Chain A
Amino acid sequence: MLYAVLTSSLLLWELRRQLYRYAVQDLETVEGLLSFSSHGQVLFEDDYHNHPQSKFIQERYLEVLSIPDGEVLFRNDRLAKEHLGHSSFAGEGKDGYSPRLDHLSDGTRILVLSREHRIHGKRILIRLSYSEEPLYVQYRRLLWMFVLCFSLTLPIAGFASHALARRLLRPLKDMTCRARRITPEELNERLPVENSHDELGQLAQVFNQTLDRLAQSFARLKNFTADASHELRTPLASIRGVGEVSLQRERNPDEYREAIGSMLEEAERLTRLADSLLVMSHADAGQVALQRGSFRILEPMREAAELLGVLAEEKSQSLRIEGDERAIVEGDRLILRQAFVNFLHNAVKFSPIGGTILLRARVENSKVIVTIEDSGPGIPVEHADRVFDRFYRVDPSRSREGGGAGLGLAIAKWAVEAHRGTVAVVTGSEREITSGAVLRIELPLNIWTLPLGSGVR
């Protein structure tokens, strides 16, 4: 409705402007058509200008006054007894046309223009006026038309757009319905994708992908909880078994001591497991704050080797570290060191007596590549993806060896990933030791702290 009023008003304003322009033109024409008769009467040759140039300019009112006495010299027939203002006001018609709005006695709105003029040395004032009524007729007509149109079309448009919106949103309603059915227990439901190219289709696809990821992590969580419970149960069963059996009959102090010690060992295992689970849960929740620093990757590697060196020595293994001193990374040195300790511990554990373990670091394509090779039995291809899973063991019968809970590699993997790195089992070439497993760790190279001219790109 506001639109209708605005449009109509704009039209009225434009028509008035036109009327004014025509009036000015007309006034100038009228000037040329005025003359004095020999009796001093003003004559107007209006036969020349009988046909109006615009359909709006039908009613011309003309009045000529003498200046300064204000005597009416001429009034046209249309004006009859009306007048266009009595005496002239100051400056009327001197510069420009003094346009103004007025009313005739019957209420007709008129536009009045004045112009001072000289004929035969006499000063006269020409007043020309047009009715604005045809303009208002147009204005009202347009307004009514709008109102009529709106009142007719609005309900139709409303109804149509409602139907259209319903049609368009039907898939959304479908999606809502399905989405409501998705719960942690029922993550298999997926949204229908009707057209993968429109916005709704894309939304549904993104939603489905999110659901896939959610389902995966829920599944992982479920497995993790089940595995953790199993791992907890093993030492608990031992504690219980040892305790109950030793109470079956009287025993000597050494036997009791032995039993209690054994139970304490299992309690130790439980404690360590609880610690590891806590580390994992902190890591999962993203609660581990990394202490940032810049360092050579060889440093934590050497520290890990120094710490675990005695274990390799005990098995007469040769433990070698070589690499590029320019391999500099940014991150938490202690956490990366822990990762290397875990990787290395695994390598020592699985390499035979007299075996070789080789750690190498190099820079390649803005990346720091660390490989850890051992001479153990290697990791079968079918296990390659899963060795980093929590509690996963290639050989389940080795589960109790070394007291590890099967979380070492998972924690190490997390540590590498927390540094925007990756770790994977290398199955193909790229190994120096023929048998055994090769782990490949990639970390982003910290290029900003390299000494100038080191030539690394």
Chain B
Amino acid sequence: MRILVVEDEPKLALAVKSGLEYDGYEVDMAGTGEEGFFLVHSSSFDLIVLDVMLPGRNGFEVLATLRRDGNKTPVLLLTAKDAIEDRVQGLDAGADDYLVKPFAFAELLARIRALLRRGKPDVPATLIVSDLTVDFASRSATRGDRRIDLTAREFELLCYLIQNVGRVVSREMLARDVWKEADRHSPLDNVIDVHIGRLRRKVDEPFPKALINTVRGVGFVIRDEVP
């Protein structure tokens, strides 16, 4: 999978590049709209990560030109301004998704995966990590041969974590995708932490191996770590 990142802030660009490469993507970089535009025309990409605030031609203009030329490559817009007009303008210009800076890297990865997966449904009936099995149809979770009693919210949280197995999910992602909250606010972070704690008590504590991990400052991840 080949991704073009158009971003003028060198530090962020470098971080995004190495992060994506670590996740197995092939990454090309462009520091200006013109450069990005040239690269899009000279080679083909599976996805473009496009910053809105660029020197010279801004992201909206680059995007609009691409779409006018009939280029259908999925585009993920990065916008620094949390203004609704910006989102609307971006989606109008033909963006497939947008992300507000500063974003969690886990979130960027999740959005990229979602865009690349688009149109390819992959909803297995059950997911298994180590000895933990989550059955989506019957909405039940078992560890070993023991059934785990979960509340509705705890089950959704577990589903989200296990669907992103091995990848860190941020509190922002949980707030939006599990709690369906439009804005993330500080009380919600506490609520998320409490729920993670309860989930851990049910899923991990009775068993010798812990599966739910906290990555400090980033978020949570279900991972089958070698003990």
B186 within 8 A of A: yes
Contact indicator B215/A261 (Cβ below 8 Å): yes
Contact indicator B186/A403 (Cβ below 8 Å): yes
B183 within 8 A of A: yes
B18 to chain A, nearest CB (A): 15
B24 within 8 A of A: no
A241 within 8 A of B: no
B1 to chain A, nearest CB (A): 27
A227 within 8 A of B: no
A257 within 8 A of B: yes
Quick one: which of B82, B194, B215 contacts A314, CB cutoff 8 A? B194
B117 within 8 A of A: no
Contact indicator B190/A264 (Cβ below 8 Å): no
Bound together, the chains give a CA A262 to CA B217 distance in angstroms of: 6
Contact indicator B82/A264 (Cβ below 8 Å): no
Quick one: which of B186, B189, B195 contacts A310, CB cutoff 8 A? B195
Chain A residue with Cβ nearest B103: A271
- CB neighbors of B among A252-305 (8 A): 257-258, 260-265, 267-268, 271-272, 275, 278
Contact indicator B185/A403 (Cβ below 8 Å): no
A268-B217 contact, Cβ under 8 Å, with A275-B82, A311-B194: yes
B129 within 8 A of A: no
Bound together, the chains give a CA A258 to CA B186 distance in angstroms of: 22
| 0 or 1 for each of B174-192: is its CB under 8 Å from A? (1 = yes) | 0000010011111111110
| 0 or 1 for each of A135-176: is its CB under 8 Å from B? (1 = yes) | 000000000000000000000000000000000000000000
Contact indicator A311/B190 (Cβ below 8 Å): yes
B11 within 8 A of A: no
Across the interface, which residues of A come within 8 angstroms of B82, CB to CB? 275, 278
Bound together, the chains give a CA A238 to CA B216 distance in angstroms of: 15
A307-B186 contact, Cβ under 8 Å, with A261-B217, A275-B82: no
| 0 or 1 for each of A303-345: is its CB under 8 Å from B? (1 = yes) | 0000110110010000000000000000000100010011011
Across the interface, which residues of B come within 8 angstroms of A307, CB to CB? 179, 187-188, 191
- CB neighbors of A among B169-227 (8 A): 179, 182-191, 194-195, 198, 215-218
Contact indicator A408/B186 (Cβ below 8 Å): yes
Bound together, the chains give a CA A265 to CA B219 distance in angstroms of: 10
Quick one: which of A258, A275, A345 contacts B187, CB cutoff 8 A? A345
A70 within 8 A of B: no
Contact indicator A402/B190 (Cβ below 8 Å): yes
Contact indicator A311/B191 (Cβ below 8 Å): yes
B102 within 8 A of A: yes
Across the interface, which residues of B come within 8 angstroms of A310, CB to CB? 191, 194-195, 198
Interface residues on A, range: 20 to 34
| 0 or 1 for each of A364-402: is its CB under 8 Å from B? (1 = yes) | 000000000000000000000000000000000000001
Contact indicator B186/A402 (Cβ below 8 Å): yes
Contact indicator A338/B216 (Cβ below 8 Å): no
A264-B183 contact, Cβ under 8 Å, with A275-B82, A314-B194: no
A314 to chain B, nearest CB (A): 6
A354 within 8 A of B: no
Interface of A is mostly: helix
Across the interface, which residues of A come within 8 angstroms of B195, CB to CB? 310
Bound together, the chains give a CA A308 to CA B82 distance in angstroms of: 26
Across the interface, which residues of B come within 8 angstroms of A265, CB to CB? 216-217
Across the interface, which residues of A come within 8 angstroms of B102, CB to CB? 267, 271
Contact indicator A263/B183 (Cβ below 8 Å): no
Contact indicator B186/A262 (Cβ below 8 Å): no
Quick one: which of A264, A308, A334 contacts B217, CB cutoff 8 A? A264
Bound together, the chains give a CA A272 to CA B82 distance in angstroms of: 12
A96 within 8 A of B: no
Across the interface, which residues of A come within 8 angstroms of B218, CB to CB? 261, 264
Across the interface, which residues of B come within 8 angstroms of A338, CB to CB? 183, 185
| 0 or 1 for each of B24-54: is its CB under 8 Å from A? (1 = yes) | 0000000000000000000000000000000
A404 within 8 A of B: yes
Contact indicator A311/B216 (Cβ below 8 Å): no
Contact indicator A263/B190 (Cβ below 8 Å): no
A341-B185 contact, Cβ under 8 Å, with A261-B218, A262-B217, A275-B82: yes
Contact indicator B186/A404 (Cβ below 8 Å): yes
Bound together, the chains give a CA A310 to CA B187 distance in angstroms of: 11
Quick one: which of B182, B191, B198 contacts A334, CB cutoff 8 A? B182
Contact indicator B216/A264 (Cβ below 8 Å): yes
Quick one: which of A267, A272, A344 contacts B186, CB cutoff 8 A? A272
A359 to chain B, nearest CB (A): 15
Contact indicator B194/A403 (Cβ below 8 Å): no
Known: A262-B216, A342-B185. 9 other contacts (CB 8 A): A261-B216, A261-B218, A262-B217, A272-B185, A311-B191, A341-B187, A342-B187, A344-B187, A345-B187
Chain A residues in contact with chain B, CB under 8 A? Answer: 257-258, 260-265, 267-268, 271-272, 275, 278, 307-308, 310-311, 314, 334, 338, 341-342, 344-345, 402-405, 408
The 6 closest A-B CB pairs, nearest first, are: A264-B217, A261-B216, A261-B217, A345-B187, A265-B217, A310-B194
30 contacts between A and B (CB under 8 A): A260-B217, A261-B217, A261-B218, A262-B216, A263-B217, A264-B216, A264-B218, A265-B216, A268-B217, A272-B185, A272-B186, A275-B82, A275-B183, A275-B184, A307-B179, A307-B188, A307-B191, A308-B191, A311-B187, A311-B191, A341-B187, A345-B186, A345-B190, A402-B186, A403-B186, A403-B189, A404-B186, A405-B186, A408-B185, A408-B187
